[in-house]
A = this chain, B = another copy of it.
């Protein structure tokens, strides 16, 4: 069947299968291959690279995307990728796309992001992968520019032979098309969240805290994702998952030579 010769595009996200962002992604790429959606049945933002080991996982076929095979999963974004490969596709997809996330995942946000963790899980598995995120938290966000970005990148990645562990973190600014500047390859900015816990007292007199925070970019470099986005570009950061700090390894080999246990 000609159907089977088209590249298989696995789509997931962390906002849940009903989020407008994943629908925008499906629509942006559905004519580029055979799209399969496996996404969480509830919002999973901030789940990082969590996996579900203490309880069982559920998988239900849904019909929410017309003409697209889709499943909702009770687990995390990473669980979705694992189950999709092992229990639905029984093979590696040709590419894995995650998003389009409602909200930014540039810079250090990569480590908190379920969107990026799903993409990273696929890349570890040897599937070229991309996470897409729009700098707009709104449920009614305009995903049109982000959809065009997702389409252009996906098309190129399917045409070009990409290294199998390719992983891209793509963020798209909240701008109308006329003000959008295009793509820029970047490095991850050094930034962090300054927490501001909101301390409250519950009706039974007990303390509780809501985590809030302010994103602080501490990196003044002009080649960072934070800067590219501020300048009106979509940032593209190629990501690796060997986290070894080789310089520090060398330094400790010398400094700690005498450290015995």
Residues on A lying within 8 angstroms of B by beta carbon are: 43, 45-54, 56-59, 78-79, 82-83, 85-87, 108, 110-112, 117, 120, 124-125, 145, 148-149, 152-153, 156, 160, 163, 166-167, 180, 182-183, 185-188, 190, 192, 195-197, 199-200, 206-211, 234, 236-246, 248-249, 252-253, 255-256, 259-261
Query: With A56-B208, A192-B124 in contact, is A117–B261 under 8 Å at CB?
Result: no
Inter-chain contacts of A145 with B (CB < 8 A): 261
**Out of B79, B160, B209, B261, which one reaches A183, CB within 8 Å?**
B261
Inter-chain contacts of A79 with B (CB < 8 A): 211
Q: Could you tell me the distance between the alpha carbons of A85 and B211 in the complex, rounded to whole angstroms?
A: 13
Cβ-defined contact, B242 with A187, below 8 A:
yes
Inter-chain contacts of A211 with B (CB < 8 A): 51-53, 57, 79, 82
Cβ-defined contact, B57 with A209, below 8 A:
yes
Cβ-defined contact, A187 with B259, below 8 A:
no
Taking the closest CB of chain B, its distance from the CB of A115, in whole angstroms, is: 13
Cβ-defined contact, B182 with A260, below 8 A:
yes
How many copies of this kind of chain does the complex include? 2
**Out of B43, B110, B238, which one reaches A249, CB within 8 Å?**
B238
Cβ-defined contact, B252 with A86, below 8 A:
no
Q: Could you tell me the distance between the alpha carbons of A239 and B234 in the complex, rounded to whole angstroms?
A: 28
Cβ-defined contact, A261 with B249, below 8 A:
no
| Closest residue of B by beta carbon distance from A251 | B238
Q: Could you tell me the distance between the alpha carbons of A153 and B255 in the complex, rounded to whole angstroms?
A: 12
Query: With A49-B112, A83-B209, A112-B51 in contact, is A190–B242 under 8 Å at CB?
Result: yes
Inter-chain contacts of A125 with B (CB < 8 A): 192
Cβ-defined contact, A208 with B57, below 8 A:
yes
Q: Could you tell me the distance between the alpha carbons of A238 and B153 in the complex, rounded to whole angstroms?
A: 33
